[in-house]
Structure 1
Amino acid sequence: MTADRVEDLLRTLAPQVLGVLARRFGDFDAAEDAVQEALLAAALHWPGDGVPDNPRGWLIQAAARRLTDAYRSDEARARRELAVFAEPAGAEVPDEDDTLTLLFLCCHPALTSASAIALTLRAVGGLTTAEIASAFLVPEATMAQRISRAKGKIKASGVPFRLPADDERAARLKSVLHVLYLVFNEGYTSSAGASLHRTELSGEAIRLARLVQRVLPTVLPQSSCEVTGLLALMLLTDARRPARTGPDGDLVPLEDQDRALWDRSSIREGVSLATAALSDGPAGEYGLQAAIAATHDIALRAQDTDWPRILALYQRLETLADNPMVTLNRAIATAMVHGPTTGLDLLATLDERLAGHYRLDAVRAHLLERAGETAAAIGCYEAAAARTTNAPERRYLTVRAARLRAEGP
C-alpha cells in the first residue's frame, strides 16, 4: 500500500482508536498522545512492511502498550490497570459508536464554540494543530493553547467517556450539530484571508456529518431528522462551490453563477436527504435551511427560482430561530417577491441587532441598487467592503461600488 493510501487509512482509523483508548483508560489527553505515537509508528512501517490484517486492532494494541508503559511510573498505575483489565473480553463497542462518543465529548456544551471546533478538528478530524491554526489564521502556539485548555476543561469536569444519558442527549446533540455547522460555514466562506473557501474544513464537516447521520439513528433515533437536514444543507450548499469563484478567485454571486458547473450528484443526494428530513418528523432549523438550498439548486436558471416558496420557508424558519441572519435572508426573499422597498423596510428592523456587520450593509446595498438609489447603494457597498475581512468578498463589494460610480445616476 502506498504512503498516501496508508495516510488516508490512518486518518479514518485515528478517531476510532482514540475513542477506544479514551473510554478504556479514562484519560483523554494521555490517550491522544499514545494514539499519535502509534499512528507515527504505523506511518513509518506500514508502507514498507504492509498493512496488518487488523489495522485498527494493531493501532489499539500499540497505543494501549504505550499508555500502560507510561502508567507504570504513575502513582495511579494499579487503579487504572485494574479498570482496564476488569473490562470483559469482547466488550468493545462498535467502531463508529466510539467515534460518535468522541465527537459528543469534544462538543461538550461547557466549551466555547471556538474551543469545541478546534478540539473536534484535532481529535475527530485528524487535522494537525498547525493545519487548524492555518485555517483560522492564528499562530500555531495560540491554537495549541486553545486545544490544551479545552482538553483540560473536559478532564476537570469529570465527564465519563460515554454517550450522554437520555436527558442530556438533545442538548449535547445540538452542540455537536452547531459545531459541525460552524466548521462547514468557515470552510465555505472563510471569515478572513485571501481565499473565499477553505475546502479542508467544509470537506471535513461533511465527512463528520455523514458519520453522525449514519450512526445516530441506532443511538438517538428521535433526533435523526435534524442530522439528515444538516447533511443535506451542507451537500446542497457545497454543490454550488465550483461556480462561486471565477478564474481569478473573485466572488461570483448566486444569480450570475454558471449553473452547469454545479455538482449535480451532490444536488440529487441533498434533495433526497432534505425531502427525508422534512417527511420523517417535525421540520427543524437545518431541515428548513436544506429545503431553501434545494429550492435554489433545482432552478436551472436564476429567473426560475421559486422565491415565494423560499420566502415561506424563511418565515417558518424564523418561528424556530430568533436569528437576525434568518431575518436578513428573509428580507432578500421579500424583496424578490414584493419588491426592493419592502425588503429595505424589513432590513431597517435589523439596524440595532446587526449594527456594524458587513452583511447588513451588503444586502442593503444590493436592494438599494435594485431600487435605483445609486448613491445610497455606493455608500453601503463601500461600508460593507471596509468591514469584511475576506479578500474576495472585499474585492467584489469594491468593484460593485466602482461600477455604479462609473455608470453615474
Structure 2
Amino acid sequence: MKKHSARVAPLSACNSPVLTLTKVEGDEHSRDSPAPAEAQAQAGMEAGGRGSRCCWTCSVTQLKKFFWGVVVVLGVCSSWSGSTQLAKLTFNKFDAPFTLTWFATNWNFLFFPLYYIGHVFKSTEKQSPQQRYRECCRFFGDNGLTLKAFFTKAAPFGVLWILTNYLYLHAIKKIDTTDVSVLFCCNKAFVFLLSWIVLRDRFMGVRIVAAILAIAGIVMMTYADGFHSYSVIGIALVVGSASMSAMYKVLFKLLLGSAKFGEAALFLSVLAVFNILFVTCIPVILYFTKVEYWSSFDAIPWGSICGFSVLLLTFNILLNFGIAITYPTLISLGIVLSVPVNAVVDHYRSEIVFNSVRVIAIVIIGLGFLLLLLPEEWDEWLIKLLTRLKVRKKEEVPEGNGDIVSGLQNKSRRTRPSMSSFTH
C-alpha cells in the first residue's frame, strides 16, 4: 500500500490557495501477497468485475469531492465576505485597525490544537501531543524549533502576516468593501510575477495577460473614484496588502518549500506566539500615543471583534486545509465569489455607486483572476480537445457521404429497367 501525504504552503490571511499533493516514497508489501503468476490469473478472472467497480468507485469519489468542494467554496465565500463586512462595522465604534489585526492574529494559536483534535479522531496511529509536536517540529530543521529557527524561519513571515492584514483592514476604512475585496484578488497576479522572477517558474503567456488585466483594473478602479486622495490611499493600501501576501507565499516556497498539514498548523500557531511576544507592545504604544485610542474597555464592541476573529480563523482553516477534501481551484473560486456578495451588501447599504468604469474594472480583475487559475498544461489540453473534435468530424463526414451514395445507388437500381422486359 502506498502512503500519501498532502503538503500545503500556509498562506496569509487573504491569500489564494495554491496547494500541491506529493507522494511519500516507499511501498509496503504484505507478506501474504500472491505470486506474480497467480496475481495475473486472478487479475484476468476479475478484470471485468473490477473494471465496473473501479469506474463506479471513481465516479462516487469524484462526486463526493465535488460536493465537499461546493461546501468549502460557500464556507470560504461567506467567511471572507463576512469578516470584511464585520470589520467595516467594527470600525464605526472601534477605530483601531492595528489592534484588531493583533487581536485576530492571536487566534492563530488554535491551529495546532484543532489539528491535533482532528488527528485523534481520524488517524489510526494516535500519538500524544508531545510526540506529534516533536514530529512536526522537524519542519524547522533537524534540531526542531530552536531560537535561531524561530527568528530566521518564523519571525519574517510573522511580520509579513501582520502587514498583510493591517494594510487590508486599514484600506477598509478608506474605501468600500467591494473595491477592497476585488483589488485584493490581484495578489494572485503578483504571486505569478514574483514566482516567475524569483523562483524561475514556467513562463505562461496567459498569466502575463492576466497580470496586465489586474494592473489595468487597478488603474480603472482609481479612475472610477475620480483620483480622490482617500480613494488613492485606500487603493494603495490594498495593493500593498496584496503585495505583502504575494511576498509571503513566494518566500515561503523559496525558503521552506512545502509543509504537511501538521507542520502547517504548527507554523501558523508559531506565528501567533511571535505576535504575542513581539507585537503586543505596538498596540500599547498606539493606545498611549492616542493614534488608536478608545475611551474605555467597556466601549469596545467585543462581540463584533470576536466574530471577526472567528470568521477570519475559519477562512484560514478552509483556505489552508480544504485541499484535504476538495480541489484547490474550487477553493480559489470562493474568494472570487466574495466580490459579488460584498457588492450586494454595499449596494443594499447605499455605500457605493456602480458606474460603468467600476463595473468594467471589477470584471477585468475577476477575469484576470480566473485566467490565473488555469493549470500549466491548459494549452496541451486545449490542443488535444481540438484534435479530437477534428478527428470526430472527419469520421462523421465519410460515413454520411457513404450513406448518401448507397441510397442513390439503390434508387438507381430500382428505377433502371431490366433486360427481361425488353425481350418480352
TM-score computed with the length of structure 2 as normaliser: 0.21
When Rg is computed on C-alpha atoms for both structures, the one with the higher figure is: 2
Structure with bigger strand share is 2
Question: Relative CO higher for 1 or 2, CA cutoff 8 Å, sep ≥ 6?
Answer: 2
TM-score computed with the length of structure 1 as normaliser: 0.22
